[in-house]
Each structure stands twice: as C-alpha cells, then as structure tokens.
Structure 1
C-alpha cells in the first residue's frame, strides 16, 4: 500500500507538471497513469502486485465512481436539461441504448460471449467520458451546441447505464426472481436516498436556525455526499444511483451550493479517477493481453469504430446537426472511467465469465484511451477555420454580442443596439 501511494504521488506530480503541455498536444495524463500502472503491475516489474480481489481495488473503485457520479449529476440539473435537451436527448435516448445493443451484438457474434454476458459488456462500454475529448469540448471555436452535446451526454450516461450494468450483472450471475425483486428495491432505495437527503439538507439551510459561512460553503455539498454514501451503505441502497440522484438534486435545488462545490468537487473526483486508472493499469498484464485472442482485438476495435458511430448516425438522422459536427460526435465516444469501474465491479463479482469480460473491457478501454486522447487536438483543429463554422454559429454569436451589449447599457440608454463605450 505504501509503495502504491508513493507511485501515485510521483505520477500525480509528473502529470501536474506536464498538464499545460498535455492541453496543447496529444499527450494525455490518463495515458500516463494507465501506462504507469501497467509498468508497476505484477506482469511487468511486480513493484505493486495488485490482484482483483485486493480490498484496495474494490474500495477505490467504489469511492471513485461515487464521487464521479455525484459531480456528474451536479453538472446536469433539471434546468440545464430543459434548456437544451433536444440534441443530448437524442444521444441519450437513442444513442445510448443503440450503442449498448450494437456492442452486445459484436460481443456475441465476434467475441463469442453468451447473450447475458454480451449484454453486460454492452452496458459497461456504453458510457462515454469527456476527459479524453477535453481539447474539443474546451475549444471556443467548436460550435457551442456540439460542446454542450458532448458535455451533457457524458455527464448523464454514466448514471443511465448503471441500472443496465446492475441488472445484466445479476442475470449473468444466475439470480432468480426473488433476487431481481431485491435488486429493484436496492435501486429504488438508492434513488430515494439521493433525492431526500440533499433536499432536506438544503431546506434546513434556508431556515432561520442555520446559515452556512462562505468559508464552509464548498463543504456543504461534501457533507451531503458523505451522508448519502453512509446512508446508502447502512441501508444497502445502491450507492451509485444515490450519488447520481443526489448530484442532480443539489444542482436543481441549490444553485449556490452547486457553484461553490464545482471546482473543489471536480478536483476530488479527478484525483480518485486517476488513482483508479493507476490501479486498473496495474491489473493489465502482458499475459492478459496475450490471452485476448484475435477475435477479442477485433471486438475492441469494432466497439470503437462501429458501435458508437453507427448508433450516433442513426440517432441524429434529420437532426440538423452539421456533417462535421456529427462526425466529431460519432468519433468522440471515448470509453473512460465509468467503464473502468464497471469492469472492476464485474471482476469482483466472480461470475463465470468475469475474467473474459474484464479482459475484453480492459483492452477496449486501453485502445480507446490511446486513440481518443491522441486525436482530440486533431479533430478540434477542424473547427479552427471560421469559414468552416456553420452559419447558425455566426448568427448565435451575433445574438450573444447583442445581448451582451444590451446588458451593458446605462439605465438611461434607449438608443437601440448602440453599445456603451467603456
């Protein structure tokens, strides 16, 4: 454990020192942690000989996924979804289940998995991660609706895919009807905890008896998250649905708390994500890669270049999305952190095909991290030429400038759209 902490601290410092270069080039901090984990793992140097059943693996995966789903939920309050739901709604309502189904077909017919396990791996690989498309999402020259689409989709689909993962995992484990009923109660209890606890906490804060100082404002959401986590564990409610529901509730009912927690919460989630990637890399060994077989590698490639592109192409038919924007959305479906943790959950579940599923998931995620994190800068440059920006984007910018000028008028200025000079 001490060696693992030492390696993580050293790699984290290196990632911080290289972060500015990573934002400008194809270098990725995620790849750095994945590669470092692979090197220190039992299959290479044996510096940190982690096994899937080690307590640190399950604990870190649980905490990291809880933090990520909590912060993801905070990005997508109901007001955000209502204000611009059309394109993200297509990606989530059609794209997510279609990606799951196409990936399951590939897992069954290419990798040779039985249907329950094929559907499970489809659910594991359906979510996307915005981290590996950071250059695209953060580029101001990229049309805002495309950036919004990728942000909302990746923020919501982790939580939406989770029930499918849980249900298909139960089916693959051979659960009977009684267990499925208990599973439904577990999911419902998790959602209830995620809604009631933040709502009650935010209501208490608005009473005359309580007031949060500015110094502790960011800790308000942390306290809510920890209480949700503790209650979920005590009542055996689903922790991850509780986290996602809690994040959405805070974003919907407490805009001030959401804003104060945003930066702090993202840093916590990022640290846990990078630690999980390090552990995930340590579980990948040369022997594991050698056991995949040609059909496993073919599945991994097709899961990236066929499943997501076909699903998004079907989902955005007659949507009005430009060809270049649609091509970027089709390609940028990187398999990221949620899939890593779902794969670890399957490995710890010890179902008959858990090792094979983990091997396929591990290879697909590794290939995705390498491919997507090294092409985001390249694709973002497609939009650097303003002549290539769709006409609607220029109109939108003019409207934005007009609104901005209107907001800057002096109270007595009613001379149309003339801006006030600074």
Structure 2
C-alpha cells in the first residue's frame, strides 16, 4: 500500500467513525442513554481490540480535551446568557463552590475506606469526581427544556464547578511541605485561579463583544472563526496569568449570550456545532486511554461501582442536599437537581492529571475514576428523563426547527427586540392586550411550536413562545422583566 493509499484509508476510517458518532445521537434518543456513553464505551472497546493503533500520550489527550472543554463551556455559557444566569446567579455560585468542596470531601472518605487508598490519593480522587460535567449535562438537556430555575441551576452548576474542581486539583498536586504550608498554598492558589479567571472572563468577554460589534469583516464566513479565536485568546491568557481558563471562557460566554451582534445567529449555530464536535472528540480520546482488561486486574470495577453508588445515592443527596438548602427549590426540584450531578469528561481529564503525577497508586485511581464516570453517564444520565417524569418536573423535548426565515439589516435595528416567554413570567398566560405596554410598543410576530402565529390583541401568550416586539430602546428593561422575570406574588 502506497503512502497515498494509507492516507486515504485513514481519512476514510475517520469519516466513517465521525458518521457513526453523529448517528449515535439517534440511537441515544431511542435508548435514553446520553450520547457520550456511546463515545466512551466504543472508544474503550477499540482501545482493547487494537492497542497499537490507539496508543496515545496522556499529555496530548489532556491538551486536546482541555481545548474541547473550553469550547463546550463557552457554548454552554452563551446558551445560558446573562438574563437567565442572573435569575439564579447566587445559587449557582454557592452550589458550584460549596457543593464541589463538600462532595470532594465525601468522595475522599469513600475512596479511603472503600478502595483502601491513602488520604492524599483519596482527596485527589474525591476532587476529580466532585464536579458535574458540562459536556454530559449539556448533552442530556441538549433537546430538553426545564421550566423554572432548575434548568438554569443545573446548567450553571455544571459550568461553574468544573473550574472549581480543576483549580482545586491543580493546587493539591502542586502543594508540598508541612500541613500548614500545604493548606495555605491550596487556599491561595485556588482563590488566585478563581479571581483571575473571573476577571479575565469579564474583561475578555466585554472586549470580544465590542470587537464583534464594531469591527466589520469582508466576509460573513469570518465572523464565527473570529469569535472562536477570541475564545482561545481568553482561555490562553487566563492560563498564562495563572487563572482558570475554563472559568474565563464560561463567564465570557454568559456575557455574550444575550447581546446582539452582527451575524449572531450564525455565530451561535457555528459554536453549537463545534461544541458537539468537541464533545465527540473529548469522549473518544478519553475512551482510547483506557484498556478494559486493566480495570479487572486492578480491582477498579468493584471499587469504582461502590464509590459511584455512594456518590449518587448518599454523598451528593446528603452533603449536596445540605448545601442546597438555602436555594429556593421545591422538594421534587431538589431531588431532581441532586440526582442530576452527572460525571463525564472533566473527572477523567483530572484522573489523567493524577495518573501523570507519579504518586503511588495514581494509575489505579485513574481506573477507578473511569468506572465512576461510566456509571454516572450511563445509569444516572439514562434515568434523567424517567426521573423527571416520575417527579412531575416539566421536561419537554424541543424538536429541531430546520427551516428559518430571516431578514438582513445593514445597521443594527435598535427598535427591534426578540423575547422568549419564560414560564411564570408576567407575559405567560396573558393576552397581548393585557400586557402593560406603552403606546409605542407593538407585538409584531409570535413563533409558537415552530409555527408563525398571528399577533392579535386577544392572543394569549404562553411559555416557550418567541415574541418579536417593536419598541424604543428605553423600553427594553421593562420588556425584559415582563417576558423573563417571575410574576409578582400579588398577581
């Protein structure tokens, strides 16, 4: 076989694998198992059957997966947006930080007594599996929408606590010396990463938004790659400044999410597609790092399944439940929130960092983490729709809308506003004529269930509607509250 033939064969295999990965999403929907589970399992089987072909360096995989996660987090931040995030900002920060810390402590105790690991290695393992994973959570809820604060809280927690877990693990691995010195190093390093990551995320997000709005480009096709380049700049700058690059891109995505910009729809579609590709790449590469035969020889199956069960049924429900008490949720919402603490690419990535640390028993810890993630993705992730149905959580599937109707403007239409009617808002259940609009406000178009609906005065709006409104710019804050803020208690 010539060099050209070998190259063609490699391209053919990559194309077939990519096609299979994309089509696996249809199988995932039928079996109600998150697509990342298929990527992870199939890649692990391939690594077992063809070990020479799938031999990968941990350093290479770590770097590629880190970039993939940065893309996923930025897209997740844009999907949440500042308007949704601010409705649960305090709760997201609280459960993202405090929840990660208490879960890490609980998982460390479980690793010490169940898997027989030393306290330092147990703490590293606990930190690795403490954070929920944005790739899995965003995949599970990709076509599903949860009414109320629960959806925002779950998506926000998965994006916020990953930087917390990554920063905490990096501080633990770098800490040496006496107990006091180690504790001080961990605290200062953790605070530094969080503070620098937030600052660069805010500054970088605002700068990128200004760049998007004020600097025109000669071709429509350049606008989306420009944003991607900006995301990589924000991530790299935060890392170089010893901050959390993951937190920085997540914050930047939140700030950009709701803001208008030229070709914003095209940019959002581009990054959504790129995040889906990044999810496939991340889980396939992570799966290729594990030989299934090694899990049995190290006793990782029994230890991993035991710790995974404790995490799902004891540690997160008890410790996470105590942390979530200040958060305003109904009992059923709280149960659903505590179950949906899914593990995925981030714990495996952190496990690779542990395995490369040279600490005795680190490779076995990585294998245990792999089993924990496999259980969480398949069992916990697969039961999310069933649990939502049993608890009566409003979880509806949003069907794709492949046809679009758009209007192009050479200048930003300042008087044109688009709103998504949030469940429980003042607009939800109110007729158009009943809304306290000013004289210069006009509802011009309503999109419901993918169809255009006449915006008559007696038309009753409902949650999920998209409403196009013509109004002066100074009317925007009041309109925003009307369509997105909860209805006052006095009605």
TM-score range for the pair, normalised by the shorter chain length? 0.7 to 0.9
Query: Displacement, 1:110?
Result: 1.9
Aligned match for 1:419, one of 449, 458, 475: 458
The question of whether the paired residues in 1 share the 8 Å contact of 2:107 and 2:315 is answered with yes
* Cα distance change on mapping 1:331 and 1:229 into 2, 3 Å: closer
C-alpha distance in structure 1 between counterparts of 2:191 and 2:148, whole Å? 40
Structure 1: unaligned runs, 5 residues or longer: 387-393
2-side partners of 1:261 and 1:346: how far apart? 36
User: 24, 35, 44: which is aligned to 1:29?
Assistant: 35
Post-superposition shift, 1:62? 2.8
Distance 1:411 1:333 in 2: 47
Residue matched to 1:391: none
| Paired residues of 2:68 and 2:279 also in contact (CA < 8 A) | yes
Task: Provide the rounded CA distance (Å) in 1 between the counterparts of 2:307 and 2:202.
Answer: 39
Alignment of 1:376-415 (within 5 A): 376-382=384-390, 396=424, 399-402=427-430, 406=434, 411=439
* 1:73/1:244 contact within 8 Å kept: no
Q: Distance in 1 between matches of 2:427 and 2:459?
A: 17
TM-score (structure 2 length as normaliser): 0.69
Alpha-carbon separation, structure 2, partners of 1:90 and 1:364: 25
Deviation at 1:172, TM superposition (A): 7.4
The answer for the alignment partner of 2:485 in structure 1 is none
Cα distance change of structure 1 residues 222 and 302 upon mapping to structure 2, 3 Å threshold: same
Task: Give the superposed CA RMSD.
Answer: 4.1
Find 1:283's aligned residue among 281, 289, 293: 289
Question: How far does the alpha carbon of each residue in 1:149-174 deviate from its partner, in whole angstroms, 9 at most, with x for none?
Answer: 21211122212222112111223799
**1:238 CA drift (Å):** 4.3
Aligned 8 A contact 2:75 2:275 in 1: yes
Distance apart, 1:377 and its partner CA: 2.6
The answer as to whether partners of 1:79 and 1:252 remain within 8 angstroms in 2 is no
Higher deviation after alignment, 153-162 or 176-185: 176-185
- Alignment partner for residue 247 of structure 2, among 240, 244, 248? 244
| Structure 1 position 292 matched with structure 2 position 299 | yes
Cα distance in structure 1, aligned partners of 2:186 and 2:140? 42
Distance apart, 1:302 and its partner CA: 1.6
1:330-385: per-residue Cα shift (whole Å, max 9, x none)? 21111012222222233334333321221111110111111123212322323669
Which whole-Å CA distance do the structure 1 matches of 2:283 and 2:162 have between them?
A: 16
Match for residue 345 of structure 2?
Answer: 337
Per-residue deviation, 1:267: 2.2
Provide the TM-score with structure 1 as the length reference. 0.79
Q: Secondary structure at the match of 1:400?
A: coil
1:105 aligned to 105, 109, 121, which one? 109
1:271 counterpart (258, 273, 277): 277
Distance (whole Å) between structure 2 residues aligned to residue 161 and residue 385 of structure 1: 28
Equivalent-residue separation in structure 2 for 1:405 and 1:8 (angstroms) = 56
For residues 225 and 292 of structure 2, the distance between their equivalents in structure 1, rounded to whole angstroms, comes to 43
**CA–CA distance in 1 between the matches of 2:460 and 2:335?**
42
1:23 deviates by: 2.7
371-380 or 400-409, which moves further after superposition? 400-409
Q: Residues 408 and 419 of structure 1 are in contact (CA less than 8 Å); yes or no, is this contact kept in structure 2?
A: no
Aligned residue runs from structure 1 range 165-180, under 5 A: 165-171=169-175
Q: Which of 10, 13, 20 in structure 1 is aligned with 2:16? A: 10
Q: Higher strand fraction: Structure 1 or Structure 2?
A: 2
**1:129–1:335: 8 Å Cα contact kept in structure 2?**
yes
List aligned pairs for 1:176-255, cutoff 5 A.
Answer: 187=193, 193-203=200-210, 210-212=215-217, 215=220, 216-229=222-235, 231=237, 236-238=240-242, 241-249=244-252, 251-252=254-255, 255=259
Evaluate the alpha carbon distance shift between residue 228 and residue 150 of structure 1 in structure 2; reply closer, same or farther with a 3 A threshold: closer
2:134–2:158 contact (8 Å) kept in structure 1: yes
- 1:389 maps to which residue? none
Q: Taking structure 1 as reference, are residues 383 and 8 closer, same or farther at Cα in structure 2, changes over 3 Å only?
A: farther
SS at match of 1:287: helix
Distance 1:317 1:197 in 2: 34
1:300–1:360: 8 Å Cα contact kept in structure 2? no
User: Which of residues 121, 128, 136 in structure 1 aligns to 2:125?
Assistant: 121
1:307 aligns with 2:315: yes
* CA distance in 2: counterparts of 1:67 and 1:160, whole angstroms: 17
How far, CA to CA, are the matches of 2:434 and 2:217 in structure 1? Answer: 35
Query: Closer, same or farther in 2 for the Cα pair 1:399/1:253, shift >3 Å?
Result: closer
Aligned residues, how many? 405
Task: Check conservation: 1:137, 1:147, Cα contact below 8 A.
Answer: no
Aligned partners of 1:10, 1:378: CA distance in 2, in Å?
32
Structure 2 CA distance for partners of 1:269 and 1:206, relative to 1, 3 Å: closer
**Deviation readout 1:86-136 (Å, 9 max, x if unpaired):** 543453243222212211211222222222222222221122135545556
Residue 37 of structure 1: how far off its partner (Å):
0.8
CA distance in 1 between counterparts of 2:441 and 2:265 reads 33
